[in-house]
Amino acid sequence: MAIQLYNTMTRRKEEFIPMEPGKVRMYVCGPTVYNYFHIGNARCFVVFDAIRRYLEYRGFSVEYIQNFTDVDDKIIRTANETGMSPLEVANRFIASYFEDADKLGVKRATAHPRVTENMNEIIKMIEELISKGHAYVVDGDVYYATETFQEYGKLSKQSIEDLQSGARIEVSEKKRNPLDFALWKAAKPGEIAWDSPWGKGRPGWHIECSAMSRKYLGVTFDIHAGGHDLIFPHHENEIAQSEGANEAPFARYWLHNGFVNIRNEKMSKSAGNFLTVRDLVNQYDPSVLRFFLLSAHYRNPLNFSEELLQQAEQGLQRIQTCYEKLTYWLDRATADDPDTVVVEGYRERFEEAMDDDFNTADAISVIFDLVRDANTKMDAEHPHRAFVEAYHSLLVTFMDVLGFPLAKKDVSLDEEIERLIAERNEARKKKDWTRADRIRDQLAEMGILLEDTPQGVRWKRK
């Protein structure tokens, strides 16, 4: 089955056909680095990381670009409040981003371009827009003239009239049209600024991604992704800029993740109802947060709650325990062949779920079915080697695709557990029940539960 993805531009699922066979060019809007990112931001980073991983699993070479907006009004405001320079603020929170994203299992992008390192590309694109009649200069500011782009509104599916009446837009007497937006902002006293043909200033938000995506991925590329709130104005404006300057299609597929809600409201820094990943990892393993974020289809809203995090924690532990049991039997199973057809069915179901617009929720359900089947077989009889190897390999593969490294057991600890179990067995043979019970209690304190079965003693972690 071919990969089907929901394209925001067409509002339907489409077969994914990359421009170049075997290669995917993908741009994901990154953070504005003035604070720690919250769990709502994290959903974007985790979701598109999982999509990237699946594309790689399917054999694609993925060129994955995620930018940093490192000059912005919010960064300047934070700098003024803290006494740091804007560059110091940006550097601090870029480092923090990597620390927190690494904990969530988010792979580094092929490149993480920064606005301040691509000023020449930004200025060049603005010059092109002016020369082609898509932009105009007023007192050192440069604005994009939205009426010059006939398809403006095609991503958000709104007419210019509807956008004018319903959108929150920056009001300025300098604009010819209320929907026109800044490409270059003239410097204000005391603000960080760069030289340009229109005087000192800094770029507007939208032009940054247009210039950096062109530099790293070319005029037209495969996938552009980001949060649902970026559809308008950010991505709409990117399209106007890029297609106006390049006179060619921009991104071929648009993917947008849904919001994370808290108390049924969108989580955001401006609303003050946000929870940072930095704080949450003090309460939960980062893998639990990632599991929670992938537990629903990426386009659907996701409600944050302690109960759902606890469910994610329990589910992840169930998978980890099964992995440990399979690992335990790798060197102990017999060499008889099981029914491999059933095993292969799981791979087909997993791929079917992910091929259907990257449905991680259904993919996780397949993993739970695999775990339940593996546990049933291991608990019922002495498992066969081929069965153990097949289920172990599938579980590791599926979890790796979703970005969950399964922890290997401490070999030295395993050896200690096996030694204590052997001592207990010997005590039971000698009918030294006091000694046997004491060892069982000792193992329980270590978090180990024993199961006395007809095939012998088995153990698992609590």
What is the three-class DSSP state of 451? strand
Strand partners, 255: 225
Cα(458)–Cα(455) distance, integer angstroms:
9
What is the three-class DSSP state of 406? coil
Closest CA to 123 of 211, 3, 217, 235: 211
The 8-class DSSP code of residue 220 comes to S
Strand partners, 23: 20, 61
Please check if 238 is assigned to a binding site.
yes
The angle subtended at Cα 74 by Cα 72 and Cα 78, nearest 5°, is: 120
List Cα–Cα distances, 450 to 416, 421, 442, in angstroms.
14, 9, 11
Q: Which two tokens stand for residue 25?
A: 């060019």
Please check if 23 is assigned to a binding site.
no
Cα(449)–Cα(156) distance, integer angstroms:
56
Cα(372)–Cα(368) distance, integer angstroms:
6
Q: Which two tokens stand for residue 331?
A: 């060197």
Please check if 322 is assigned to a binding site.
no
Please check if 44 is assigned to a binding site.
no
Any residues with CB less than 8 A from the CB of 413 and at least 6 apart, and which? none
Please check if 121 is assigned to a binding site.
no
Binding residues for ATP: 269
Binding residues for Zn(2+): 29, 209, 234, 238
Binding residues: 29, 209, 234, 238, 269
